[in-house]
Amino acid sequence: QLEEEKDEDSFDMEVAVTNPEKIGKEYFFLTIFELMNRTFSVWRRFSDFLGLYEKLSVKHSLNGCIIPPPPEKSVVGMTKVKVGKDDSSSADFVERRRAALERYLQRVVCHPSLLQDPDVREFLERDELPRAVGTHTLSGAGFLKMINRASDAVSKMTIKISDSDAWFDNKLQEVESEELQLRKLHAVVDSLVNHRKELCGNTAVFAKSMAMLGNSEDNTALSRALSQLAEVEDKMETLHQEQAASDFFILAELLADYIRLLGAVRGCFEQRMKTWQRWQEAQSTLQKKREVEAKLLWANKPDKLQQAKEEITEWEGKVTQYERDFDRISVTVRKEFLRFEKQKSKDFKSQIVKYLESLLQSQQRHVKFWEAFLPEAKAIA
């Protein structure tokens, strides 16, 4: 039984992705990182980030590493919320992308093994990166499709490897159930964002109609009060708009990130299963080779016997290698999972508190606006 590994992050690197600038058809982001009080920065394209993911996934996913999934390329993706206009020049869309890139990169540099990776180093240090190719399959929907296909294949096997495997079984079940709940939650938050945007629009329209009514009213004091009410509702509209932005950028995006991350976690577990399968298949191949050898001994064919002995040696080596691979990936997956859980707990807590604080600030302004209106209402005579 492995104990939870002690905290290894002695590197505390902070990243920021800022200053989106459109050069030609694409956006460049100023990527800033701070390590041990030294700050340096480079300009990176969106496709550079995707290219980084591709390189990392090719190298590390076979080890059972949880590679942070890349930000979504498509606007629609998982959400039905319209983030500004659909074209890439809208401010909301750019902000969404910028924030997603920042979170992605922060997760990469928080990972102790990935931070050491030369591709990550190159990403952080090199002045200009060559344009990444073939990244369209690896972002957003394409990525999810890959993960889902893999999990379909594996879930059809119900194998219990050993007693210690109960841990992996349980954790995988937890992950699947959590992913389901997060998807549900994300859909509701999506709905909330849309309803708040609707509320925003309807409040603005209502404010105007109140102002008109105030104009018609021939009692002076009442007329003034109605105009003031219209102004309060206008301020409410602003609050609703800001709230919808919080709902989306803090809450919805957090959930979307973790739905994708849980997909990546499932991918790791499935990778471990594949490794086990490979070992098992090698063992059965070895067994068959030994049976062949036995038959040849009986039939007394010395040439073929030599070849059979060579094959046996080859496969014995493979079996040993694959068993070692399986043990190693099991260790990695377990360690990765525990690190992930810790990070997830931290993330959720900090983001949700941030969200609640935004709600709090909104209510404070709510109070101010209505406090200002009350004397106006009382002044009607």
Partner 1 sequence: MLFDRPRAVNVDLQTDATLQVDISDALSERDKVKFTVHTKSTLPNFKQNEFSVVRQHEEFIWLHDSFVENEEYAGYIIPPAPPRPDFDASREKLQKLGEGEGSMTKEEFTKMKQELEAEYLAIFKKTVAMHEVFLCRVAAHPVLRKDMNFHVFLEYNQDLSVRGKNKREKMEDFFKNVVKSADGVLVAGVKDVDDFFEHEKTFLLEYHNRVKDASSKSDRMIRSHKNAADDINRIASTLYTLGTQDSTDVCKFFLKVSELFEKTRKIEARVAADEDLKLADLLKYYLRESQAAKDLLYRRGRALVDYENANKALDKARAKNKDVLQAETSQQVCCQKFEKISESAKQELIDFKTRRVAAFRKNLVELAELELKHAKGNLQLLQSCVGVLKGDT
Binding site for partner 1 (CB under 8 A): 174, 177-178, 181-182, 184-185, 188-189, 191-192, 195-196, 198-199, 202-203, 205-206, 209-210, 212-213, 215-219, 221-222, 225-226, 229, 341, 344-345, 348-350, 352-353, 356-357, 359-360, 363-364, 366-367, 370-371, 373-374, 377-378, 380-381
The smaller minimum CB distance to partner 1, of residues 177 and 306, is found at: 177
Are 351 and 247 in contact, with CB atoms under 8 Å apart? Answer: no
In three-state form (DSSP H/G/I as H, E/B as E, the rest C), the secondary structure along 121-163 is HHHHHCCCCCCCCCCHHHCHHHHHHHHHHHHHHHHCCCCCCCC
The smaller minimum CB distance to partner 1, of residues 57 and 243, is found at: 243
Helix axes 91-110, 46-60, angle to 10 degrees: 30
Helix (H) or strand (E) holding 44: strand 38-45
- Which residues does 292 contact at the CB level (< 8 Å), separation at least 6? 308
The smaller minimum CB distance to partner 1, of residues 234 and 293, is found at: 234
At closest approach, how far in Å is the CB of 335 from partner 1? 18
The smaller minimum CB distance to partner 1, of residues 147 and 244, is found at: 244
Helix (H) or strand (E) holding 312: helix 302-378
The smaller minimum CB distance to partner 1, of residues 198 and 291, is found at: 198
Tokens found for residue 308: 């059979």
How far is Cα 13 from Cα 251, in angstroms, rounded to an integer? 24
At closest approach, how far in Å is the CB of 44 from partner 1? 32
**φ and ψ at residue 127, rounded to 5 degrees:** -60, -50
189 CB burial (10 A radius; 0-12, 13-18, 19+): buried
How far is Cα 283 from Cα 320, in angstroms, rounded to an integer? 9
How does DSSP assign 246-278, residue by residue?
HIIIIIIHHHHHHHHHHHHHHHHHHHHHHHHHH
At closest approach, how far in Å is the CB of 9 from partner 1? 17
| Residue among 178, 187, 189, 234 nearest 209 (CA) | 234
At closest approach, how far in Å is the CB of 68 from partner 1? 19
The smaller minimum CB distance to partner 1, of residues 43 and 355, is found at: 355
At closest approach, how far in Å is the CB of 331 from partner 1? 22
Tokens found for residue 177: 């159930």
The smaller minimum CB distance to partner 1, of residues 28 and 373, is found at: 373
Are 239 and 362 in contact, with CB atoms under 8 Å apart? Answer: yes
At closest approach, how far in Å is the CB of 74 from partner 1? 25
β-strand pairing of 14-23 with 26-35: antiparallel
The smaller minimum CB distance to partner 1, of residues 321 and 350, is found at: 350
Residue 44 β-bridge partners: 29
At closest approach, how far in Å is the CB of 340 from partner 1? 12
At closest approach, how far in Å is the CB of 94 from partner 1? 27
The smaller minimum CB distance to partner 1, of residues 95 and 376, is found at: 376
At closest approach, how far in Å is the CB of 12 from partner 1? 18
How far is Cα 43 from Cα 28, in angstroms, rounded to an integer? 6
